[in-house]
């Protein structure tokens, strides 16, 4: 197999055994990027010189016999809403096209410390608002499995980079499915950790009460490895949980005998592609074969999650994005006075979807509508959480499709926001409840990857890894890579 | 018709924590622009706030001193509005669940005591500072974010105040309490204590409220008093002309001594408050409250009573002295070294305050520490210097920071009490002014004063006045 | 239509966005479609249900009152579109 399609932990083993150097591995990835990037367009910014410098430093440290982490020397990519000191962080927006952060995000610092090598910053839907990466203000990213299709979004660049062999792993962010849905579309593993498991410090905020950073990886072991590196308490994020980080690698056991798995029927109803449903049902049968007890259950408020989400998330976003005004950083268009400057700057700086959500969120919070929209949505959020709480009294995990469909064609849903929003039907409830969920490849429909979503209760990432790992080991054939 | 004013004050006080409300930048005043900033208080993309524990503790302390109930659960909210001094274009504040509610403080105006309600006390962050280009035609403003994120308490009074005098008394009392608590510098000129007023008028005896205006920019006690007086007059004359009062925000123009409408082209205020998702709620338990309560210092009212009781000060003196914690501290320290309370109080309320005000200083900043004042008073008491010299020496002490004895000795100001030495000078003066001597002997009493003055002039004020009188009379 | 064109204009002003005529048209239509979809929520009785603003039951997360160095001024001003005398420059605020 090509080096660039090794999993991160396989690559790490080669590095540790000194069968390959970090510089060689990085060159390999940079070469691959050169070959396919024109077609895939996964990156907004590439950092080849910095990557090679960093790789050289890792090799030197290894030669000195220093004790290096499991990711030392492994090339990776970051979604371009994670702040990197000295490297521009654009959120794929004209607003931040030339903004260079003076600080590193918590996760970036953690990965630097772990010795992972940054090869570039990945394209995304502008400010993480979208499900196809078509809302990037720069260019759309293509799905490596079919270049006429979208990679999903908003972490589409991160998913595509991993699927195309342009990075061994990537980080994304997930507010309503932005890691899991593109992971599903691109046939990679994607994890949204429990809200509070990973610090959000340095993640450019979209909807603060929903945002969470997570890995996109080639396999489940990599996913556990990367989460291990980035999880943990951060005093700079008041919403990060001060809980010990378990040994996630130890959770990778091939054993799900006797586990109780709930299959919520609402995720298999109208709006779901029949072929996708059928592939997911086969995967569930497989889990039964492996010894789990699978049973249909119900999360009755599921249908309310999407409308509630599209009030909560835009409301928070309208406030989070107020700071982009052309005063202290970022894009500015001059105006005849301050208000004129603000309005011109924001008209030009933001794209259509961002403006649409700012409008929606501003309206939902405005005088006279707060109770009817925002407060109502927060109450519905409580009902959604309760559904899950009840389900987890009975089941260890819940499984669903990650997305109602396989990757759709570029342009197919542009201009129909509601149709685009439906793409996150299965992932949004998880964010509303703050739960951890993983998407793993579980088969193909129309020759395109299908993702299986596994959901657990808060801070139970270990059981996600256990189920996912068991499934992956039993069905290794889904780990295929696209011809580009 | 006779009208009465209805006034409520919203006071913003900067808390003197070492670091800002939600980040670790210094709060020190007066640093060069944008040198006390970090990604958090600049509102850079991706940053998150973390609550400064000391801010909350100061908030609890203040709320307790104002007799408020501390909320068992409170939270922060975002107040959304666009202004260039606000880095995130929202202010982290508290909306429907403030830190504390339902307190009061007591004021006294013209001998009448009155309880003024405190509706709420909440925590929030300060904004930055805008400076407008000053040269002619300057079309720009400049923003300094050093102050952005400094913790503030907003203290909202009930509309219980009925006159500018009451409003001033309320502010003075509140300032004194805050100083006693040592939670703020309370420097109005530096903006660490600021005040907005809600004002309306109504026919005396009415129980309904008139239309109110909000007056901003009241940055001194004098401005507060004058602006309120002006605004009340303005509203009454509008009503008397049969016109309506427009509910609006106005500002006090210090130069022109008027309030003027801040007609902004901004849309009606819609702050779109919602819970700050980046901060978790506060649950302030009884334990914390009781611990803070046990650290509450003696407050102005209690101290005033104590000064009356323990030192026998008149009520008036005690009120003036305890109006400032620093002054009261100074007083007690000085009295411990020079145990004549009334003397100390007289000096403090007189020359000391005059010299202090002339320099624009607070008592704790006085170049004359209490030890030095006590020394001065001792010198005067034991007769080493006269009162007149003592006053001169105090001025010198303020000017140079030197000690009383040092100045007296260096300048040779010690009082002349040597009879032989003074007799010689007295005789010299008598010989030089035979006409005046004659006048006196003819019964012109005033002539004696002139002669004393001449002796004083000869001795540059150092002669003991009693002795001079005595010696002169003997010879006349 | 819960949202009129005038309201769209008002909301755009609150959000400091200039909208073209076409955008006003399009947003009015799209936002109404979205809000109509939201109407679904009204079918749900939420009386007595506590709102969830935070999913984690965290309370009292503080930092100690310790000063740490921030950014040097040149770094703080580096990304600014316009600066003057160590400050951020904006069109005159009257």
Sign of the C-alpha dihedral computed for residues A457, A463, A467 and A469 taken in this order: positive
- Among C3, C16, C34, whose Cβ lies nearest the Cβ of A310? C34
Burial (0-12, 13-18, 19+ Cβ within 10 Å), A45: middle
pLDDT of residue A109: 97
Cα–Cα distance measured from residue A396 to residue A457, given in angstroms and rounded to the nearest whole number: 8
Chain C residues within an 8 Å CB radius of B19: 65-68
- Among B25, B141, B144, whose Cβ lies nearest the Cβ of C70? B25
Query: Nearest CA of chain C to the CA of A362: how many Å?
Result: 6
Q: List chains adjacent to chain B, taking adjacency as at least 3 C-beta pairs closer than 8 Å.
A: A, C
The catalytic residue among A21, A132, A154, A158 is A154
Considering only alpha carbons, which residue of chain C is nearest residue B52? Answer: C63
Confidence band (pLDDT; 50, 70, 90) for B265?
very low
Tens digits of per-residue pLDDT, A389-443?
Answer: 999 999 999 999 999 999 999 999 887 888 888 889 999 999 999 999 999 999 9
Q: At what angle do helices B164-181 and B53-65 cross, to 10 degrees?
A: 130
DSSP 8-state secondary structure symbol assigned to residue B106: E
pLDDT of residue B126: 97
Q: Are strands A260-264 and A293-297 parallel, antiparallel or unpaired?
A: parallel
- Both tokens of A427, joined, read 């992932």
Do A192 and A169 meet the contact criterion of CB atoms below 8 Å apart? no
ipTM of the complex: 0.96
Closest CA to B20 of B124, B116, B103: B124
Instruction: Work out the number of other CB atoms within 10 angstroms of the CB of residue A75.
Output: 29
- pLDDT value at C35 more than 60: yes
Confidence band (pLDDT; 50, 70, 90) for B365?
confident
% pLDDT > 70, chain A: 99
pLDDT of residue A477: 62
Considering only alpha carbons, which residue of chain B is nearest residue C94? Answer: B132
* Catalytic residue flag (residue A39): no
Is B277 in contact with A362 (Cβ distance < 8 A)?
no
Residue with tokens 């009975």: A394
Q: At what angle do helices B315-322 and B325-337 cross, to 10 degrees?
A: 120
- Which range of A220-234, B127-141, B307-321 scores highest in mean pLDDT? It is A220-234
Longest Cα–Cα distance in chain A: 70
- Both tokens of C91, joined, read 């069109």
Q: What DSSP assignment string belongs to A439-450?
A: EEEEEEETTEEE
Tens digits of per-residue pLDDT, A31-81?
Answer: 999 999 999 999 999 999 999 999 999 999 999 999 898 999 999 999 999
Phi and psi at B54, nearest 5°, equal -65, -35
Tens digits of per-residue pLDDT, B388-441?
Answer: 888 888 988 988 988 888 888 877 777 777 788 888 888 888 888 888 888 888
Query: Nearest CA of chain C to the CA of A421: how many Å?
Result: 10
- pLDDT value at A167 more than 70: yes
CA distances from B356 to B31, B138, B229, B394, C39 (A): 25, 38, 28, 11, 68
- Among A195, A343, A347, whose Cβ lies nearest the Cβ of C55? A195
- Both tokens of A452, joined, read 């299986």
Complete edge-to-edge strand list for the sheet that includes strand B90-93: B90-93, B77-80, B274-275
- Both tokens of A413, joined, read 């849903």
B-proximal residues of C, 16-35, CB under 8 Å: 16
Average pLDDT over residues B335-343: 92
Is C44 in contact with A304 (Cβ distance < 8 A)?
yes
Confidence band (pLDDT; 50, 70, 90) for B321?
very high
Q: Which CATH number fits domain B419-475: 4.10.410.60, 1.10.760.10, 1.10.10.410, 3.90.870.10?
A: 1.10.10.410
Q: List chains adjacent to chain A, taking adjacency as at least 3 C-beta pairs closer than 8 Å.
A: B, C
Considering only alpha carbons, which residue of chain B is nearest residue A369? Answer: B272
Query: Domain locations in chain C?
Result: 5-43
- pLDDT value at A275 more than 70: yes
- CA angle B132/B134/B138 to nearest 5° reads 80
Long-range contacts of range A387-394, CB-CB < 8 Å, 24 or more positions apart?
A387/A299, A387/A300, A387/A301, A387/A302, A387/A429, A388/A299, A388/A429, A388/A433, A388/A435, A388/A455, A388/A457, A391/A262, A391/A264, A391/A297, A391/A299, A392/A456, A392/A457, A394/A260, A394/A262, A394/A297
pLDDT of residue B266: 52
Average pLDDT over residues B178-198: 93
Do A261 and A470 meet the contact criterion of CB atoms below 8 Å apart? no
Is A307 in contact with C90 (Cβ distance < 8 A)?
no
Length of chain B: 476
Cα–Cα distance measured from residue B403 to residue B372, given in angstroms and rounded to the nearest whole number: 6
Residue A367, CA atoms < 13 Å, CB-side half-sphere: 9
Confidence band (pLDDT; 50, 70, 90) for B158?
very high
% pLDDT > 90, chain A: 93
Considering only alpha carbons, which residue of chain A is nearest residue B140? Answer: A337
The catalytic residue among A7, A21, A41, A79 is A79
H helical segments located in B81-214: 164-181
pLDDT of residue C1: 59
Cα–Cα distance measured from residue A421 to residue A264, given in angstroms and rounded to the nearest whole number: 21
Do A365 and A359 meet the contact criterion of CB atoms below 8 Å apart? no
Is C3 in contact with A363 (Cβ distance < 8 A)?
yes
Considering only alpha carbons, which residue of chain B is nearest residue A82? Answer: B46
**ω before A120 within 30° of 0 (cis)?**
no
Residue with tokens 């109780």: A260
Considering only alpha carbons, which residue of chain B is nearest residue C73? Answer: B35
Confidence band (pLDDT; 50, 70, 90) for A130?
very high
Average pLDDT over residues A262-279: 94
Cα–Cα distance measured from residue B466 to residue B387, given in angstroms and rounded to the nearest whole number: 12
pLDDT of residue A63: 95
Chain C residues within an 8 Å CB radius of A417: 30, 33-34
Which of A93, A94, A207, A322 to substitute to test the interface with B, most B CBs within 10 Å? A322
Average pLDDT over residues C22-47: 91
Which of A85, A236, A339 to substitute to test the interface with B, most B CBs within 10 Å? A236
Closest CA to B436 of B447, B428, B425, B445: B447
Is B53 in contact with C62 (Cβ distance < 8 A)?
yes
Confidence band (pLDDT; 50, 70, 90) for B455?
confident
Q: Return the SS3 of A341.
A: helix
pLDDT of residue A1: 67
Cα–Cα distance measured from residue B213 to residue B189, given in angstroms and rounded to the nearest whole number: 24
Chain C residues within an 8 Å CB radius of B51: 61-63
> What 3 state SS string does A57-111 have?
HHHHHHHCCCCCCCCCCCEEEEECCECECCECCCCCCHHHCCCCCCCCCHHHHHH
Average pLDDT over residues A276-294: 97
Considering only alpha carbons, which residue of chain A is nearest residue C39? Answer: A307
Longest Cα–Cα distance in chain C: 58
Q: Which CATH class is domain C5-43?
A: mainly alpha
- Among C64, C71, C76, whose Cβ lies nearest the Cβ of B53? C64
Cα–Cα distance measured from residue A227 to residue A229, given in angstroms and rounded to the nearest whole number: 5
Is B183 at the interface with chain C, CB within 8 A? no
Q: Return the SS3 of A464.
A: helix
- Among B44, B88, B277, whose Cβ lies nearest the Cβ of A316? B277
Query: Domain locations in chain B?
Result: 3-291, 300-410, 419-475
E strand intervals along B81-165 = 90-93, 100-109, 112-125, 129-132, 140-144, 151-157
Q: List chains adjacent to chain C, taking adjacency as at least 3 C-beta pairs closer than 8 Å.
A: A, B
Phi and psi at A332, nearest 5°, equal -140, 135
Q: To the nearest 5 percent, what fractions of chain C are helix, strand and coil?
A: 40, 10, 50
Mean model confidence pLDDT for chain A: 96
Is C31 in contact with A363 (Cβ distance < 8 A)?
yes
- Both tokens of A331, joined, read 């894009």
Residues of B with CB under 8 A from a CB of A: 39, 42-51, 78, 80, 82, 84, 87-90, 141, 143, 145, 265-266, 270, 272-274, 277-280
Q: Return the SS3 of B14.
A: strand
- CA angle A131/A135/A137 to nearest 5° reads 155
Which of C58, C66, C79, C88 to substitute to test the interface with B, most B CBs within 10 Å? C88
Phi and psi at A119, nearest 5°, equal -100, -20
Confidence band (pLDDT; 50, 70, 90) for B35?
very high
Phi and psi at A395, nearest 5°, equal -120, 150
CA distances from B150 to B11, B39, B85, B146, B174 (A): 15, 14, 13, 8, 20
Cα–Cα distance measured from residue A453 to residue B166, given in angstroms and rounded to the nearest whole number: 67
* Catalytic residue flag (residue A178): yes
Confidence band (pLDDT; 50, 70, 90) for C94?
confident
Residues of A with CB under 8 A from a CB of B: 81-83, 89, 91, 96, 99, 101-103, 105, 200-205, 207-209, 235-239, 315-316, 318-319, 322-323, 325, 327-329, 338-339, 342, 362, 365-367, 370, 374
* Catalytic residue flag (residue A79): yes
What is the count of residue pairs from A and C with beta carbons less than 8 Å apart? Answer: 155
Q: List all residues 6 or more positions away from C88 whose beta carbon is below 8 Å from its beta carbon.
A: A327, A328, B34, B84, B142, B143, B145, C77, C80, C82
Long-range contacts of range B435-441, CB-CB < 8 Å, 24 or more positions apart?
B437/B476, B440/B476, B441/B476
Longest Cα–Cα distance in chain B: 95
Do A343 and A302 meet the contact criterion of CB atoms below 8 Å apart? no
Is B84 at the interface with chain C, CB within 8 A? yes
H helical segments located in chain C: 5-14, 21-38, 73-77
Give me the domains of chain A, ranges plus CATH numbers: 3-258+398-478 (3.90.1300.10), 310-376 (no CATH)
Query: Nearest CA of chain B to the CA of C44: how many Å?
Result: 22
């Amino acid at each position: 197999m090509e080096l660039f399609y090794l999993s991160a932990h396989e690559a790490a083993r080669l590095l540790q055994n000194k069968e390959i150097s970090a510089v060689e591995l990085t060159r390999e990835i940079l070469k691959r990027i050169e070959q396919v990037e024109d077609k895939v367009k996964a990156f907004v910014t590439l950092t080849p010189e910095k990557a090679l410098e960093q790789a050289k430093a890792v090799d030197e440290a290894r030669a000195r016999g220093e004790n290096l982490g499991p990711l030392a020397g492994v090339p990776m990519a970051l979604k371009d809403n994670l702040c990197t000191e000295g490297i521009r962080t654009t959120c794929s927006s004209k607003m931040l096209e030339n903004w260079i952060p003076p600080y590193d995000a918590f996760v970036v610092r953690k990965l630097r410390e772990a010795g992972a090598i940054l090869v570039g910053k990945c394209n995304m839907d502008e400010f993480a608002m979208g499900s196809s990466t078509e809302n990037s203000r720069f260019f759309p990213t293509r799905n490596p499995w079919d270049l006429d299709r979208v990679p999903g979004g908003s972490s589409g660049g991160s998913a595509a980079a991993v699927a195309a062999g342009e990075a061994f792993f990537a980080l994304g962010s997930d507010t309503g499915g932005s890691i899991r849905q593109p992971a599903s579309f691109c046939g990679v593993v994607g994890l949204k950790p429990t809200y509070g498991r990973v610090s959000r410090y340095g993640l450019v905020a979209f909807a603060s009460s929903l945002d969470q950073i997570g890995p996109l990886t080639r396999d489940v072991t990599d996913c556990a490895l990367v989460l291990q590196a980035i999880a943990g308490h951060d005093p700079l994020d008041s919403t990060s949980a001060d809980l010990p980080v378990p040994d996630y690698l130890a959770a990778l056991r091939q054993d799900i005998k006797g586990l109780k798995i709930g299959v919520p029927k609402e995720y298999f109803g109208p709006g779901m592609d029949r072929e996708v449903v059928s592939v997911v049902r086969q995967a569930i049968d497989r889990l039964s074969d492996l010894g789990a007890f699978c049973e249909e259950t119900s999360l009755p408020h599921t249908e309310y999650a999407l409308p509630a989400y599209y009030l909560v998330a835009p409301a928070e976003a309208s406030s989070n994005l107020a700071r982009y005004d052309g005063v202290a950083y970022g894009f500015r268009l001059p105006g005849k006075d301050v208000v004129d400057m603000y309005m011109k700057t924001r008209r030009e700086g933001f794209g259509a979807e961002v403006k649409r959500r700012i409008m929606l969120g501003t309206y939902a919070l405005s005088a006279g509508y707060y109770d009817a929209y925002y407060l109502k949505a927060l109450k519905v959020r409580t009902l959604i959480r309760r559904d899950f709480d009840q389900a987890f009294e009975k089941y260890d995990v819940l499984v669903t499709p990650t997305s109602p469909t396989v990757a759709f064609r570029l342009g197919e849903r542009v201009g129909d926001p509601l149709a685009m929003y439906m793409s996150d039907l299965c992932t949004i409830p998880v964010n509303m409840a703050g739960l951890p969920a993983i998407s793993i490849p579980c088969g193909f429909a129309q020759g395109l990857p299908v993702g299986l979503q596994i959901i657990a209760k808060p801070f139970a990432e270990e059981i996600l890894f256990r189920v996912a790992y068991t499934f992956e080991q039993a069905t290794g054939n889904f780990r295929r890579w696209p011809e580009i | 018709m006779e009208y009465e004013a209805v006034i409520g004050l919203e006071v913003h006080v900067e808390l003197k924590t070492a670091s800002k409300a939600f980040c670790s930048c210094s709060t020190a005043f007066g640093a060069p622009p944008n040198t006390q900033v970090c990604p958090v208080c600049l509102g850079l993309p991706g940053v998150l706030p973390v609550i400064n524990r000391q801010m909350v503790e100061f908030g609890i302390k203040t709320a307790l001193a104002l007799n408020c109930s501390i909320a068992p659960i409170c939270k922060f909210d975002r107040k959304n509005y666009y202004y260039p001094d606000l880095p995130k274009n929202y202010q982290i504040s508290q909306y429907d669940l403030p830190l504390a509610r339902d307190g009061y403080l007591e004021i006294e105006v013209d001998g009448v005591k009155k309880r003024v309600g405190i509706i709420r006390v909440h925590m929030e962050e300060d904004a930055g500072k805008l400076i407008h280009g000053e040269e002619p035609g300057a079309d720009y403003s400049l923003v300094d974010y050093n102050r952005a994120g400094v913790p503030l308490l907003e203290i909202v009074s009930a509309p219980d105040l009925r006159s500018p005098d009451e409003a001033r008394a309320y502010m003075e009392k509140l300032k004194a309490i805050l100083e006693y608590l040592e939670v703020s510098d309370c420097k109005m000129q530096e903006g660490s204590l600021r005040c907005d007023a809600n004002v309306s008028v109504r026919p005396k005896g009415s129980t309904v409220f008139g239309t109110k205006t909000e007056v901003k920019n009241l940055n001194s006690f004098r401005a507060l008093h004058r602006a309120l007086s002006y605004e009340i007059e303005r509203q009454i004359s509008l009503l008397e002309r049969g016109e309506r009062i427009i509910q609006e925000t106005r500002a006090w123009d210090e130069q022109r001594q008027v309030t003027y409408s801040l007609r902004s082209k901004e849309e009606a205020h819609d702050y779109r408050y919602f819970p700050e998702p980046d901060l978790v709620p506060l649950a302030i338990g009884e334990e914390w409250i009781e611990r803070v309560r046990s650290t509450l210092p003696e407050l102005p009212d209690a101290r005033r009573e104590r000064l009356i009781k323990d030192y026998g000060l008149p009520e008036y003196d005690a009120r003036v002295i305890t109006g400032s914690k620093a002054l009261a501290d100074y007083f007690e320290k000085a009295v411990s070294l020079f145990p004549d309370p009334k003397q100390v109080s007289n000096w403090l309320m007189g020359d000391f305050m005059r010299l202090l005000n002339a320099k624009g200083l607070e008592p704790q900043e006085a170049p004359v520490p209490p030890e030095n004042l006590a020394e001065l008073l001792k010198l005067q008491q034991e007769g080493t210097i006269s009162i007149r010299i003592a006053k001169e020496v105090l001025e010198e002490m303020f000017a140079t920071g030197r000690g009383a004895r040092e100045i007296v000795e260096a300048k040779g100001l010690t009082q002349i009490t040597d009879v032989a030495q003074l007799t010689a000078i007295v005789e010299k003066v008598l010989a030089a002014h035979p006409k005046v001597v004659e006048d006196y002997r003819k019964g012109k009493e005033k002539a004696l004063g002139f002669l004393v003055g001449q002796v004083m002039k000869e001795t540059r004020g150092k002669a003991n006045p009693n002795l001079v009188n005595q010696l002169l009379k003997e010879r006349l | 239509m819960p949202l009129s064109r005038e309201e769209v204009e008002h909301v755009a002003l609150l959000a400091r966005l200039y909208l073209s005529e076409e955008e006003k048209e399009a947003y009015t239509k799209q936002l109404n479609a979205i809000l109509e979809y939201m109407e679904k929520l009204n079918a749900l009785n939420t009386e007595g249900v506590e709102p969830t603003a935070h999913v984690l039951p965290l309370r009292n997360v503080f930092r100690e009152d310790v000063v740490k160095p921030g950014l040097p001024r040149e770094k703080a001003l580096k990304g600014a579109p316009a600066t003057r005398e160590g400050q951020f420059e904006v069109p005159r605020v009257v």
